Amino acid sequence: MVGHGAKFGRKKELAIAALLTQRNTEDAARAAGVSTTTLIRWQKLPEFDAAYRAAKRAAFGQAVARLQQGASAAATTLLKTMIEPNTPASVRVRAAECVLNHAMKAIEIEDIEARVSELERAADVSKDGRP
């Protein structure tokens, strides 16, 4: 039954790709060449579910990376909008609010990172008995 296992693996990979790209389970099943019932049954299998979740995380990670690449342009757009005198005041205020909110979040994250580093250092000191 080696052939069956290999076929299941290929079909499973196709099904996972289809689930990531199609609108719904029915379309995904059709794209993968399996019945909707089969796809729903596969989704209940722990190994399929784990592979599907890993694929979703990878796809999301790629999307986040693309957004991070655009962060500089987004910041430039916000700052230009905020200071452009011909931009309506309500839009400039909203841009300013976004800039302040993001700056505040960045400071909060830096503070948390510093506190975590200090806690880790203190834990190492207490574990080792030395600084």
Ordered by start, the domain boundaries in the chain are 2-68, 71-128
Rounded CA gap, 86 and 16, in Å?
49
Please tell me the predicted confidence (pLDDT) of residue 128. Answer: 74
Please tell me the predicted confidence (pLDDT) of residue 55. Answer: 96
Residue pLDDT, tens place only, 55-112: 999 999 999 999 999 999 999 999 999 999 999 999 999 999 999 999 999 999 999 9
Rounded CA gap, 38 and 43, in Å?
9
Residue in this structure with the two tokens 């600084």, named with its chain if needed = 131
Handedness of CA 12, 18, 20, 23 (dihedral sign): negative
Please tell me the predicted confidence (pLDDT) of residue 15. Answer: 97
CB burial string 96-127: b at 16+ within 10 A, e below: eebeeeeeeeeeeeeeeeeeeeeeeeeeeeee
Quick one: what percent of the chain has pLDDT higher than 90? 88
Mean pLDDT (whole number) for 26-46: 97
pLDDT band for position 3 (50/70/90)?
very low
Is the pLDDT at 113 greater than 90? The verdict is yes
Indicate the pTM of the whole model.
0.61
